[in-house]
Structure 1
Amino acid sequence: MKKAFILSILFSLCYSLAWTQTKPVDSTQTAKPKTKNIDFNVMPYLSYNRTLDFMFGAIPMMMYRLNKADTISPKSLSGISAIYTTNKSYFVCSFNKWYFDEDKWRIQAFLMTGNKNAQFYVDDLNVSDFYDYGTKMTIVNFSVQRRIIKGLYGGLGYSYSHYDTNYQDNIQPSSITHTNGLQLITLYDTRDAVYYPTKGDKIRLRWLAYPTWFGNDVSANKILSEYNKYFPMRNGKDVLAARFAGKFGLGNIAFEQQVTIGSEDIRGYSEDKYRGDGLIDVQGEYRYNFAKRMGVVGFAGVATIYGSDTDSFNWKLYPGAGVGYRYRAFKNEKFNVGLDGAVGKGDWGIYFRIGEAF
């Protein structure tokens, strides 16, 4: 299954490269400027995390049109990232977003493998502390969405995860977990751009089911919801973005499937301390563009969790706030990479961004 998936990705990339070929130019005709169909860049990756320590690597990626004549579809994006951390974790992943047929179809494909050395918090009557664990993981996600009416999409997805986890001091038994998930997707999208929207809405609702008849040891469900709103500021030069998100775990949620406060929901937490079956957050971000290819952001938000093994963590408020720098990665497309620094409740984090936080 994995080999077939990888071959499908390579085939799609080769297909996109085929569109970059141009017909021979008649020497008797006036030469016209050629338009590059592929924007390619290699971005260095450098970050720090209180759990993973220093992280460094490289991210080659490209933007392109699957059909040069299709100017309605957003440009497609493909990339590979390879990251190593000083706590001896590593991650290699391939990420792809394909848009075609005048934006009637949207396909996403993600493949990651790696070894994550992290920590989790245990609240015990005798001793409350962080304990290390190591997880060898393989994750595959694939989804297809079709436009139903203007702005409204529906789709299906499949996800596969395999985890081999060992815990420090045998505080929990070692475990091997694999899940096969089916995904039902509804998307309402009125943004003026998918990579850097300045106005519009993005409302996405996903139902993930892990039934036992589909190769899972136990039955579980997840509901993932998000509502992003964008307001143009300073005559369209800047953007005010707002986000509400909810991640709700139902049933037997595995340790590796639990959510933690951090990353996009909410920045400022990198110790993986606040972990549970579900999470709700709200946040806002102002994106100030002071140059053609550079900008800064300021953001703040608050989150809460439920289903934590530490009862005192449940339904408390966890605020986070910070600032960040943005750089436009591609000359012909508004797509940013950047670095964020944020503080939370007794925690802080530094985040390298590929695209905006939301």
Structure 2
Amino acid sequence: MQKILPTILLLFCCSWAWTQAKLADSTATSKPKTKNIDFNVMPYVNYNRTLDFMFGAIPMMMYKLNKTDTISPKSLSGISAVYTTNKSYFVASFNKWYFKEDKWRAQLFLATGNQNAQFYVDDIDTPDFYDYATKASVANIIVQRKIVKALYAGLGYAYAHYNTKYEDDVQPSSVTQTNGIQINMMYDTRNAVYYPTQGDKVKLRWINYPTWFGNDISANKILSEYNKYFPMRNGTDVLAARFSGKFGLGNITFEQQVTIGGEDIRGYSEGKYRGDGLMALQGEYRYNFNKKMGLVGFAGVATIYGSDTSDFNWNLYPGAGIGYRYRAFKTEKFNVGLDAAVGKGDWGLYFRIGEAF
């Protein structure tokens, strides 16, 4: 489901954490055992130029699948439930699992919702933004196995069901169901999966939508990214750089298209620049002024192809902004926060769970 993000005002987040730990016996001399589960609930309050005011909650927890496994990072599971004043809603479950001494990794994402958004149309008598509503249910599962040191490979499955209706019948209503087979590879030398201060993360994912697998038309998507992390100020801060490429090949449906915005290039919230694929470059400096809080500054540029508006193709779309970060868990460096960014004739606000990349 494509996300269309922000403008004006921001009510920001408070956070609190409940943690479960056994109390030590008052007569014992040993220290209490480290708890296996860290639990946190984030209230979600935001504003979006397309979705208007958004309210919700995001309970999430970090835990070890095996307490004796000292090599695997902690796993993460959470649920997000958001309602907006333009009558959109989203409910999602997100999970990242690390096990068998980090030889295996798995991800599961489930979501359902109704998105009332907009897109730009110029090939009609009155070029303008037009509303559309999409009822969507999506599921994505990926399993990876370590092949050699730092190199993972695996398979995945992506399911999506969309029911989309357009304002003033600028396009006919459509019901689309897709089933994608994924082959993925990842090279990961980061020193931490949730807040790396050095190393590389390279991901390549090919998703094939063949007709024999329940798809009406055949299509392919290639998703790639390269993230690089440099320690700064003796490892207190981080300079991060990212390349992202999303390439749609074949008969890409409206819902499968990509929109400039989100983690690839912040500062675009209207959903105007939409196409079959995009490429983006960006950099971000992460300044930590104490153990629990920090600031970020970022800038980048993106381009798209396959847009229905040919004048949008292969132009450069810059974006830049600043953000605030708050540490969500006591035992793990994992941030939540809010970003504000400006783009070419646009701007946006972005509530973050984890870093942008």
Separation of aligned partners in 2, 1:323 and 1:29:
49
SS of structure 2 residue aligned to 1:330:
coil
Name the structure 2 match of 1:3: none
Residue identity matched to 2:49: R
SS of structure 2 residue aligned to 1:213:
helix
How far apart are residue 124 of structure 1 and its match?
Answer: 2.6
Name the structure 2 match of 1:98: 97
Separation of aligned partners in 1, 2:210 and 2:103:
30
Residue identity matched to 1:210: Y
Residue identity matched to 2:145: R
Separation of aligned partners in 2, 1:24 and 1:237:
33
Root mean square deviation, CA, Å: 1.8
Moved over 6 A (4+): 20-29
Contact 1:81 1:93 in 2 (8 A): yes
Structure 1 residues 131 and 27, CA, compared in 2 at 3 Å: closer, same or farther?
closer
Structure 1 residues 293 and 216, CA, compared in 2 at 3 Å: closer, same or farther?
same
Contact 2:107 2:143 in 1 (8 A): yes
How far apart are residue 23 of structure 1 and its match?
Answer: 11
How far apart are residue 48 of structure 1 and its match?
Answer: 1.8
Name the structure 2 match of 1:78: 77
Separation of aligned partners in 1, 2:254 and 2:110:
21
Name the structure 2 match of 1:11: none
Relative contact order higher in (CA < 8 Å, ≥ 6 apart): 2
Residue identity matched to 2:80: S
How far apart are residue 167 of structure 1 and its match?
Answer: 0.4
Residue identity matched to 2:326: Y
The 5-angstrom pairing of residues 94-243 of structure 1 reads 94-124=93-123, 126-243=125-242
Separation of aligned partners in 2, 1:228 and 1:319:
19
TM-score, structure 1 normalization: 0.92
Name the structure 2 match of 1:40: 39
Separation of aligned partners in 2, 1:136 and 1:26:
53
Structure 1 residues 134 and 225, CA, compared in 2 at 3 Å: closer, same or farther?
same
SS of structure 1 residue aligned to 2:334:
strand
How far apart are residue 32 of structure 1 and its match?
Answer: 3.7
What do residues 146-167 of structure 1 show as CA deviations (whole Å, max 9, x unaligned)? Answer: 0001100000000100000000
2:312 is aligned with 1:313 = yes
How far apart are residue 27 of structure 1 and its match?
Answer: 10
What do residues 247-289 of structure 1 show as CA deviations (whole Å, max 9, x unaligned)? Answer: 0000000000000000101100000000000000000000000
Name the structure 2 match of 1:14: none
Residue identity matched to 2:116: N
Separation of aligned partners in 2, 1:302 and 1:233:
23
Unaligned runs of 5+ in 2: 1-18
Separation of aligned partners in 1, 2:277 and 2:174:
22
Name the structure 2 match of 1:340: 339
TM-score, structure 2 normalization: 0.92
Separation of aligned partners in 1, 2:333 and 2:23:
31
How far apart are residue 22 of structure 1 and its match?
Answer: 10
Which structure shows the bigger proportion of residues in helix conformation?
A: 1
Residue identity matched to 1:142: I
Separation of aligned partners in 1, 2:31 and 2:330:
20
What do residues 44-71 of structure 1 show as CA deviations (whole Å, max 9, x unaligned)? Answer: 1122221111212100000000011111
2:256 is aligned with 1:257 = yes
Separation of aligned partners in 2, 1:125 and 1:72:
58
Residue identity matched to 1:328: R
Structure 1 residues 170 and 68, CA, compared in 2 at 3 Å: closer, same or farther?
same
Separation of aligned partners in 2, 1:64 and 1:204:
25
What do residues 42-101 of structure 1 show as CA deviations (whole Å, max 9, x unaligned)? Answer: 001122221111212100000000011111100000000000111110000000000001
Size of the alignment, in residue pairs? 339
SS of structure 2 residue aligned to 1:244:
strand
Name the structure 2 match of 1:59: 58
Contact 1:48 1:349 in 2 (8 A): no
Structure 1 residues 181 and 29, CA, compared in 2 at 3 Å: closer, same or farther?
same
Identity of aligned pairs, percent?
A: 79
